Amino acid sequence: MPEIIPTLFGYQMTEKIYDGPRTLIYRATRGIDNQPVVIKFLRNEYPNFEELVQFRNQYTIAKNLELEGIVHPYALENYHNGFALVMEEIGADSLSHYMTDNPLTLTEFFNVALAIVKVLEGLYQNRVIHKDIKPQNILIHPQTKQVKLIDFSIASLLPRETQEIQSPNTLEGTLAYLSPEQTGRMNRGIDYRTDFYSLGVTFYELLTGQVPFQSDDAMELVHCHIAKNPTPPMQINAAIPQMVNDLIIKLMAKTAEGRYQSTFGIRYDLENCQQQWEAQESITPFELGQRDISDR
């Protein structure tokens, strides 16, 4: 049976680049000016209210952010019973896909990690929490190595919000990267530090090729995030220096208070590691978080 390609007035689809459980993403050309664009569609022909709200959310939040490090939306078009999100095309690949053929060296890791932290810094200055940081939502340009963040479906504009207890299968975010407080089982609010936990999981995966907790059982994954300590990444990849290992573990602290409290603190320690590594291919131990002050 031939594949049905979506048709959207004013655009010509050229290539499908993502086929996920909830969304389809195509490269396309905008008819009015032949501008290359990327268009995201909801897979569900009859999307529910929550899906529509999330889909609209990624447009309304991102369109008001004047940040270099995000993919900018051009338009939210009506499409059948839902919407189509038209975005800029930057010729990049998701970090998760890029890594499969191009494992990051430590030097490349520092560059990518610092670029992500810089984007988060911009988000928090605009009071935006992303809540779904993971390699699939980070784009990297194969030539320039420019890094951009995508998918603001569940992002919040609030400095703090309370997470209600929900079934693990309906939780907002991606279970493998979810902070303990985002599971709704910690009886505490969510703030920007939830992103730091997911950032730690992302760094872990970038350097080890695997996420810290792996299970097909949603409840077990939730339990791991809340109660189980991850295997130190340097035990999986012996090339990871102790200080980088410790930085990742600090990001993944079970309580928000145990993590870094600011993007400045993360960036300062990452830059210290990077400078030492570039100078001597080793990192002399130092106390993490010395320049860490709350972003709030």
CATH number of domain containing 132: 1.10.510.10
Alpha carbon distance 262, 193 (integer Å): 8
Domain co-membership, 130 together with 209: yes
Indicate whether 294 belongs to any domain.
Answer: no
CATH number reported for the structural domain that contains residue 64 in this entry: 3.30.200.20
Query: Higher model confidence: residue 149 or residue 171?
Result: 149
Domain co-membership, 242 together with 107: yes
Note the pLDDT tens digit of each residue in 63-102.
Answer: 999 999 999 999 999 999 999 999 999 999 999 999 999 9
Burial class (CB in 10 A: 0-12, 13-18, 19+), 221: buried
pLDDT exceeds cutoff 70 at 162: no
Indicate whether 290 belongs to any domain.
Answer: no
Q: What does the pLDDT average to over 118-133? A: 96
Range of 108's domain?
93-280
Indicate whether 71 belongs to any domain.
Answer: yes
Quick one: pLDDT band at residue 171, thresholds 50, 70, 90? low
Domain co-membership, 235 together with 166: yes
Tell me the whole-structure pTM to 2 decimals: 0.92
Least confident of 2-16, 130-144, 242-256: 2-16
Domain co-membership, 253 together with 121: yes
Domain co-membership, 127 together with 61: no
Reference 142, options 117, 108, 116, 110; nearest CA is 108
Reference 252, options 244, 243, 260; nearest CA is 260
Domain co-membership, 110 together with 227: yes
Q: Tell me the pLDDT of the chain averaged across its residues.
A: 92
Our count of domains for the chain comes to 2
Note the pLDDT tens digit of each residue in 13-62.
Answer: 999 998 888 899 999 999 999 999 999 999 998 999 989 999 999 999 99
Q: Which of 56, 88, 120 is the C-terminal boundary of a domain?
A: 88
Other Cβ atoms less than 10 A from the Cβ of 269: the count is: 23
Domain co-membership, 75 together with 44: yes
